[in-house]
A and B are shown apart, each in its own frame.
Chain A
């Protein structure tokens, strides 16, 4: 079967750095996406990785290791508005997205 694993919940302090991990087992791999979802809202795109390595976009970075079936999202200089759920999704051999259940990130002052 296909499986995406992420921690259910994480807590971090404003101004700090947090790393959200995602491991996956899917039938094929055609890219990995990270989305942000604030409570009661739609998911919005954050990042995309298809090759191994780090992709940096402002305060957010995403890393991929295809051989390990592993990715992480790194959030720097945390702000209160970063409190949200972060969703990891892998595009499988059928080019459909398989989604993790999401990691709820709580930011404390």
Chain B
């Protein structure tokens, strides 16, 4: 079944630890995105990639890094986790970055940093 998968589903992490959230899509979409969703706030863009080999910063990039080595995978790394990074993280993809195309979302990763 085509779509986006994320791993892990949830994670409890000690502050200061390094963590990589995985995201894989099999729709051959060019663009991919990482969002965080916090209660009372809209989805906020962390990083994005318009095509394999390129990445860009979104609204809240500090403390996060991404890479896009190929079309399918777009991992998000927290170099040294802090409690304010406790959130639900969604990965999304779209066929083209600048066109009408809707964004398809993965099931999310619930991350708690203690």
B100-114 toward A: CB 8 Å interface, digit per residue (1/0)? 101111111000000
Residues of B close to A87: CB separation below 8 A: 42-43
Of B40, B48, B90, B102, which is within 8 A of A96 by CB?
B48
Nearest-neighbor residue (CB-CB) of B99 within chain A: A95
Interface residues on A, range: 20 to 34
Chain A CB within 8 A of B82 CB: no
Chain A CB within 8 A of B58 CB: yes
Q: Tell me how many residues of B have a C-beta within 8 Å of chain A.
A: 20
Chain A CB within 8 A of B98 CB: yes
Chain B interface, DSSP helix/strand/loop, else mixed: loop
Residues of B close to A33: CB separation below 8 A: 102
Chain A CB within 8 A of B12 CB: no
Nearest-neighbor residue (CB-CB) of B110 within chain A: A40
Nearest-neighbor residue (CB-CB) of A101 within chain B: B42
Are A48 and B102 also in contact (CB < 8 A) when A87-B42, A101-B42 are? yes
Residues of A close to B90: CB separation below 8 A: 42-43
Q: Are A97 and B40 in contact (CB under 8 A)?
A: no
Chain A CB within 8 A of B41 CB: yes
Chain B CB within 8 A of A73 CB: no
Q: Are A45 and B42 in contact (CB under 8 A)?
A: no
Of B43, B45, B97, which is within 8 A of A43 by CB?
B43
Q: Are B41 and A45 in contact (CB under 8 A)?
A: no
Nearest-neighbor residue (CB-CB) of A48 within chain B: B100
Residues of B close to A41: CB separation below 8 A: 107-108
Q: Give complex CA distance A101, B40 in Å.
A: 6
Chain A CB within 8 A of B44 CB: yes
Residues of A close to B108: CB separation below 8 A: 41-42
A-B contact pairs, 18 of them (CB 8 A): A31-B100, A33-B102, A42-B108, A43-B105, A45-B103, A87-B42, A89-B42, A96-B45, A96-B48, A97-B43, A97-B45, A98-B42, A99-B42, A99-B43, A100-B42, A101-B40, A101-B41, A102-B42
B interface, CB within 8 angstroms of A: 35, 40-45, 48, 58, 90, 97-98, 100, 102-108
Ranked nearest first, the 6 interchain pairs of A and B with the lowest CB-CB distance are A99-B42, A42-B105, A45-B102, A99-B43, A95-B98, A101-B42
